[in-house]
Amino acid sequence: MKFKNVLLAFVAVCATNIATAQVRDVPLVEGGLSVGVMFPSVNLFDTAGYPGGQVAAELRFNTSSKFDVGTQVSMSRFKQEGLFLNHPDVVAIFTPSVLFDYNWRPSEMMNMFVGAGFGFPFCVDGPDVAAYVSGFEAFPRVGVEFYDRLRFTADYRVNFAGCGYAGFTIGYVFGGRPK
């Protein structure tokens, strides 16, 4: 008898969850601009780095209400201890990348997401722009979007160009409202 009550309660909870789940009809294309801070982890020549700034622009295609595929262009700058004469060098990173996001239970108020990205960063160390290092990059990312407009994102970029970092951004979404 006890098992039947537990089973009945479980079925009732599942049915309520399915009945109240909303399938949101979102637009095909959305984009966004974001700014934030980045913390270098493994940077050029294994020298100490200081937190810096980051800006990014994204264009995402909603393949369904749960999945996004898109592109991102991000630019970051930070200072690191110089190798010679102990003066700080400025490192600039330009990264075009491809994104994949999964949205957990999107609602009108809040949309949590997890995703991954792959790109090719170009790291410029110091004033000589012609001397750059490039390589492959992969990064996981998590975030939350409030009211289909305000987006907070955290990512950790691991790359083979020698300029990986953790980044935290706040952004504004264009076209994120449901149809």
Q: 40: domain range?
A: 25-174
**Is residue 164 a contact partner of residue 43, using CB atoms and an 8 Å limit?**
yes
Asked whether residue 51 is assigned to any structural domain, the reply reads yes
Q: Average pLDDT by consecutive 10-residue portion of the chain (179 residues)?
A: 56 49 70 94 61 96 90 90 59 92 86 94 72 85 93 91 86 79
pTM of the model: 0.77
Asked whether residue 18 is assigned to any structural domain, the reply reads no
Asked whether residue 150 is assigned to any structural domain, the reply reads yes
pLDDT score recorded for residue 19: 42
User: Distance of CA 11 to CAs 2, 15, 16, 23, Å?
Assistant: 14, 6, 8, 21
pLDDT score recorded for residue 153: 97
Asked whether residue 7 is assigned to any structural domain, the reply reads no
**Is residue 176 a contact partner of residue 145, using CB atoms and an 8 Å limit?**
yes
Asked whether residue 12 is assigned to any structural domain, the reply reads no
The number of distinct structural domains making up the chain is 1
Q: CATH code at 155?
A: 2.40.160.20
Asked whether residue 136 is assigned to any structural domain, the reply reads yes
pLDDT score recorded for residue 97: 96
